[in-house]
Amino acid sequence: MAFTDRTAIVIGREGIERLQRARVAIYGLGGVGAACALDLVRAGVGTLHVIDFDVVEETNLNRLAFGYRRFLGLPKTEAFALAAREINPDVVIRPERLFFSGNDAAGIIAPECSLHADCIDSLNAKVNLIAALARQRLRFIASMGTAGRLQPERLKLGSMEEARGCPLAKAVRQRLRRLGVSLDFPVVWSDEPAVKPIAPLPGSSSAEVPHVREATEAAAGQGAAPRGRQRLIQGSTPFVPQVAGHLMASWIVRQLLEDHAT
């Protein structure tokens, strides 16, 4: 049996063929993005464009879907491509290892993709990517805060306008309104209060990465900190980020299948 045969029972052989022809972009391969991207591979999506700058570190292993010790030190884009091809040797992975601050958001978008998943955890980059996707009238889904949470059952899938109880969603929504960007797009968010981030341990490599500070403070609803302020480390679990990624991947697959039906 092919690895897609069980899925074909649910969505039909024509659905499988539709997914094989599809192209999807995932921006960010953290806990959410990694789960979303691997789900799309397992569902049979034929081409994935993935963007991330980081490497796989030991602290990622508690939540990263392709987080295995054999991948430590590899760029996440490379580790994902290796894991994806173990599932489907025919999948086309178009990796880009790059860091973007937000001002160049429009330049990183893969326009050949029919659906896009924003899984970035940095506030400025997230807002600018969403704005660029919206202005180009591309279809996308975005993840909001998942760090510091324990209860995946409190995740929700709905419009950005509906997202409540998530400090990151509030900060993103405020900035998008100032930019004149419509909030009529789907997001995954949690209304579970997040455990506050902590100061980094001595020698922690994350303390030297500038966007880690911005991401953790944005998730706490604090915005960017002044230069010199101590950078914070956000806690995480395997459950909430990965379930958020599953919800995003499911939404993407259903959109692709609905396109086929129409």
Which sequence spans correspond to the domains of the chain? 5-193+236-261
Q: Grade residue 183 by pLDDT with cuts at 50, 70 and 90.
A: very high
Among the listed residues 32, 29, 109, 38, the one whose alpha carbon sits nearest the alpha carbon of residue 77: 29
pLDDT of residue 230: 60
**pTM of whole model > 0.85?**
yes
- The neighbour count for residue 107, using CB atoms within 10 Å, is 9
Identify the CA nearest to 171 among candidates 148, 195, 189.
189
Let me know the angle formed at the C-alpha of 97 by 237 and 146, rounded to the nearest 5 degrees.
20
Q: What does the pLDDT average to over 199-209? A: 59
pLDDT in tens, 138-163: 999 999 999 999 999 999 999 999 99
At 253, the pLDDT band (50, 70, 90 cuts) reads: very high
**Above 70 in pLDDT, residue 229?**
no
Task: Give the per-residue pLDDT at 100.
Answer: 78
- Whole-number pLDDT of residue 207: 39
Whether the CB-CB separation of 52 and 77 falls below 8 Å is answered with: yes
pLDDT at 19 over 60: yes
pLDDT value at position 222? 37
Look up the CATH number of domain 5-193+236-261.
3.40.50.720
> Can you tell me the distance from the alpha carbon of 38 to that of 136, in angstroms, rounded to the nearest whole number?
26
